[in-house]
Amino acid sequence: MAIHRTLENIFLVDLDLSLPGFQNFLSSWIIKDGHSAIVIDPGPSATINILVNALHEIQVKKIDYIFLTHIHLDHAGGCGALIQAYPETPIICHPKAIEHLSDPDRLWEGSLDVLGDLALAYGKPLPIAERSIYTETTIRWKDYTIHIVNTPGHASHHMSFLFNDILFAGEVAGIQVPRSDGLYIRPATPPPFLPQVALQSISDVIDLAPHIICYAHYGFLGNACKFLNMAKEQVRLWLEIIEERKDKGLHLGYSEIFEEILAKDSNVRYFNQFDPDIKKREVYFINNSIKGMINFINKR
């Protein structure tokens, strides 16, 4: 179990799966005050024991809120299991998420269809009583005010949370892989993808002027607005690459598009230095992002 104290009262917990390439990739964020805490994205069912042990390790006795950036299995699939350990904890999510949290069967079946064995590795979500689920725009907790912002794009039910000047961004700005020798960031644009919606969401969080961005995948960066703007430009670049290929009558195959992205996008230049298991993971998710963009372009 790895617990990283990133700031004075903010912790990142690694939620490592047994799958190759899924170490230092899934995470949960904890904001702690005394013996109470807010948990942001408890992660998949398969790793809830890791999170519960981490909460015990940092002496959290009560979770005051669980915040969900969105309800994909790797972010919220373990929510039902977590509230078994911390009953009566209120869950804050997007209104569109409520029915899937209270009755997750359709979410689970859809995840199995799309993710296959990866969904099985994440684990099946448990249902949550609707009385525990809330939708809010602002939370006042202790001496803090937390602003909740709808940020659709990665998912229609995606939200981000501003705590002081710290943005818990989920996947609104894609993902980043921490490196000592440079930056690796990429979009997370699975289908159905609507570029203008996603780009507007990034603009909306830029308007909040955060100083620090905390990624769901993975870690945090200062100078948040710089990286949010980079995320916007990266989405535009990938779309341009695909649009130009279509206009030229070139094949819209994933591997060809991927190679062109690697040649033109400096933010993914470290891909070829990754270990094979991380490469395999990144190919899977990058192709899914490319698929979202291709589907959008082909439907125009």
Confidence category of residue 300, pLDDT binned at 50, 70, 90 = confident
Q: What is the CATH number of the domain that holds 77?
A: 3.60.15.10
Same-domain status, 86 and 181 = no
Paired tokens of 100: 């899937």
- Who contacts 18 (Cβ-Cβ below 8 Å, separation ≥6)? 121
**pLDDT value of residue 132:** 96
Give domain status of residue 59, yes or no: yes
Distance CA 117, CA 284 (A): 13
User: For the chain, how many structural domains are there in total?
Assistant: 2
15 pLDDT higher than 90: yes
Distance CA 76, CA 186 (A): 22
Number of residues that this document lists for the chain: 300
105 pLDDT higher than 80: yes
Same-domain status, 29 and 91 = yes
1 pLDDT higher than 80: no
- pTM attached to this predicted model: 0.96
**Contact present, 58 and 32 (Cβ < 8 Å):** yes
**pLDDT value of residue 189:** 97
- Residues of 120-150 as b/e, b for ≥16 C-beta within 10 angstroms? ebbbbbbebeeebbeeeeebeeeeeebbbbe
Same-domain status, 121 and 200 = no
Same-domain status, 124 and 15 = yes
Q: Which range of residues forms the domain containing residue 228?
A: 171-300
**pLDDT value of residue 142:** 94
> Which residues share a beta bridge with 62?
36
**pLDDT value of residue 258:** 96
Give domain status of residue 34, yes or no: yes
Give domain status of residue 84, yes or no: yes
180 pLDDT higher than 90: no
| Closest to 232 measured CA to CA, from 281, 265, 187 | 187
